[in-house]
Chain A
Amino acid sequence: MQYVGAIAIKQLFDEDSSYLARLIFVVVFSIILMTADHRTNMLSGVRSLFSLIIYPLQTIASTPVDAGLWLDGQMNSHQSLINENEDYRTQNLLLKAQLQKFTSLQAENIRLRSLLKSSRKISDQMLIAETIAVDLDPYKRQIVINKGQRSGVYAGQPILDAYGIMGQIIHPGVPSSTAILITDPSHAIPVQVNRNGLRTVLYGTGAANFLEVQNLPNNADITVGDLLITSGLGGRFPEGYPVAVVKNIKRDPGQPFANIIAEASAHLEQSREVLLVMGLARETIEQEQEQEQEKEKDSHEQ
């Protein structure tokens, strides 16, 4: 036993100096990688490649929650399912009635826009995805969804749920993608107040459902209860979707800006199904094509 121990220790000491060299190499390499990832976008391919390894583990990790939900579904009594079905039917009927009005309003909007020679707006196409129940970094607000580049997911693509904007995709992987929520401290979304069109930017705070407006002065026309919708500026998010409702305004005369806190409309922490806006990139391309056609027609007429 001692003989074996002595051999083992001898081996270790021989490797000692090369061990430190290994550490230094690895530290330098990591710093280069971090700088590259922080400043440029070069490593996104590497990340999506390795997400293929992580994805099975994430799927396994989400099975307790999935199993719980499945069991919950199995336990539902026949009667409660019938009741739920009835509720959905009535909701569906009401929504369809509202939709009829919406379709005619949309057509009127397109006519008015073409009268003003503004570019036509095409309604957004949506892709449905599910969130994978895994916990990521507790200090960032990020989620994983089960659609990847195969389904046409791209970086910067907006996500929303039935109640409002949730965030955008940051790392499109192959089988899955990571998305950042609007409440993440490093996220900001351009919005406008629904009531009067006042434009501002909504920043994430890191807190679960709250965002803040940082750059409105004390005399800005904004009140508690105002709905903030996307303004479409920046080209990232489609215009007109609800983002948050103003919850609290503190106007300190000594401060240059008002302290405004808003609560997100989307059910950020609970939604299982999310919608990805598919058409946004196409919409801008079609707009450009139409504008080119208009210019050609004008030049022909001359």
Chain B
Amino acid sequence: MNNKAVNHGGIIILSSFAVAFILNMVPLPDNLENYRPEWVTLILIYWCLALPHRTGVFTGWVVGFLLDVHLGSLLGQHALVLSIVAYLSYKLHVRIRLYPLIQQSLIILLLVALSQMLILWISGITANAPGDWSYWLPSLTSMLIWPWVFFLMRFIRRVYGVN
């Protein structure tokens, strides 16, 4: 029996976040821009569900902070929102693991939509808030793409023995 409590695979977690950042940044044609799923949020939710003792509020905060630096938004805006998302994932993770995939996707929709709403609130107070219904499209596409993300990340986690 392997009794070591060593944390394996930190590199894998970091690389998955790096890839999520890059996917968020890759330029898309203007009319497709709003269909981009929130890759970073999805990867964060996955790791919070899979490894709740390792990735949590602080991970969400750091990732959100880096997202703020990249997007040029207020420092702390995405950090705040993603730490809340991480906290909620932690609270829900015991139950979500048992849900069928479709129900999981609905929870993902709610989490991503919540994060978008919080960002909209903060933007509304400090800067110009976007007024389109197309602002919410990323939540939908994130929900649709969740099953693939889940299976891919689970495969990677098992192959590399991340714990």
| Nearest Cβ on chain A to B91's Cβ, whole angstroms | 8
Residue contact A50 to B128, C-beta cutoff 8 Å = no
Contact of A38 among B34, B94, B126, B135 (CB under 8 A): B126
| Nearest Cβ on chain A to B76's Cβ, whole angstroms | 3
Within 8 A of A (CB), among B35-92: 52-53, 56-58, 61, 65-66, 69-77, 79-80, 83-84, 87, 90
Contact of B58 among A12, A22, A139 (CB under 8 A): A22
Residue contact A26 to B80, C-beta cutoff 8 Å = yes
> How long is the Cα–Cα vector from A15 to B66 in the complex, in angstroms?
26
Residue of B nearest to A27 (CB): B80
When distances are taken between beta carbons in the complex, the residues of chain B under 8 Å from A140 are 72, 127-128
The number of inter-chain residue pairs (CB within 8 angstroms) is: 124
Q: A11 and B61 in contact (CB under 8 A), knowing A57-B25, A61-B26, A137-B72?
A: no
Residue contact B128 to A186, C-beta cutoff 8 Å = yes
| Nearest Cβ on chain B to A281's Cβ, whole angstroms | 23
Contact of A23 among B34, B77, B83 (CB under 8 A): B83
| Nearest Cβ on chain A to B1's Cβ, whole angstroms | 10
Interface-side segment among A28-36, A192-200, A284-292: A28-36
When distances are taken between beta carbons in the complex, the residues of chain A under 8 Å from B25 are 57-58, 61-62, 134-135
Residue contact B74 to A19, C-beta cutoff 8 Å = no
> How long is the Cα–Cα vector from A54 to B71 in the complex, in angstroms?
10
Residue contact A26 to B58, C-beta cutoff 8 Å = yes
> How long is the Cα–Cα vector from A46 to B130 in the complex, in angstroms?
27
Asked if B101 CB lies within 8 Å of chain A CBs, one says no
> How long is the Cα–Cα vector from A78 to B56 in the complex, in angstroms?
57
Residue of A nearest to B69 (CB): A50
Contact of B70 among A15, A136, A208 (CB under 8 A): A136
Asked if A142 CB lies within 8 Å of chain B CBs, one says yes
Within 8 A of B (CB), among A16-51: 19-20, 22-23, 26-27, 29-34, 36-38, 43, 46-47, 50-51
When distances are taken between beta carbons in the complex, the residues of chain B under 8 Å from A186 are 127-128
Asked if A138 CB lies within 8 Å of chain B CBs, one says yes
> How long is the Cα–Cα vector from A23 to B26 in the complex, in angstroms?
31
Residue contact B80 to A31, C-beta cutoff 8 Å = yes
On chain A, the number of residues with a Cβ less than 8 Å from chain B's Cβ atoms is 51
Asked if A65 CB lies within 8 Å of chain B CBs, one says yes
Residue contact A138 to B56, C-beta cutoff 8 Å = no
Asked if A115 CB lies within 8 Å of chain B CBs, one says no
> How long is the Cα–Cα vector from A9 to B93 in the complex, in angstroms?
11
Residue of A nearest to B26 (CB): A61
Contact of B128 among A139, A142, A170 (CB under 8 A): A139
Residue contact B69 to A54, C-beta cutoff 8 Å = yes
When distances are taken between beta carbons in the complex, the residues of chain A under 8 Å from B61 are 26, 30
Residue contact A19 to B90, C-beta cutoff 8 Å = yes
| Nearest Cβ on chain B to A96's Cβ, whole angstroms | 36
Asked if A279 CB lies within 8 Å of chain B CBs, one says no
Residue contact B130 to A139, C-beta cutoff 8 Å = yes
Residue of B nearest to A21 (CB): B57
Asked if A75 CB lies within 8 Å of chain B CBs, one says no
Asked if A60 CB lies within 8 Å of chain B CBs, one says yes
Asked if B162 CB lies within 8 Å of chain A CBs, one says no
Asked if A53 CB lies within 8 Å of chain B CBs, one says yes
Chain A residues within CB distance 8 Å of chain B: 8-9, 11-12, 15, 19-20, 22-23, 26-27, 29-34, 36-38, 43, 46-47, 50-51, 53-54, 57-58, 60-62, 64-65, 133-140, 142, 170-171, 178, 185-186, 206, 208, 269
Chain B residues within CB distance 8 Å of chain A: 18, 21-22, 24-28, 30, 33-34, 52-53, 56-58, 61, 65-66, 69-77, 79-80, 83-84, 87, 90, 94, 122-123, 126-128, 130, 135
25 A-B residue pairs with Cβ-Cβ distance under 8 Å, sorted by A, are: A8-B53, A9-B94, A12-B94, A19-B56, A19-B90, A22-B57, A23-B57, A27-B80, A33-B76, A34-B75, A37-B76, A43-B75, A47-B69, A53-B69, A54-B21, A54-B69, A57-B70, A61-B22, A61-B27, A134-B26, A135-B33, A139-B128, A140-B72, A170-B72, A208-B30
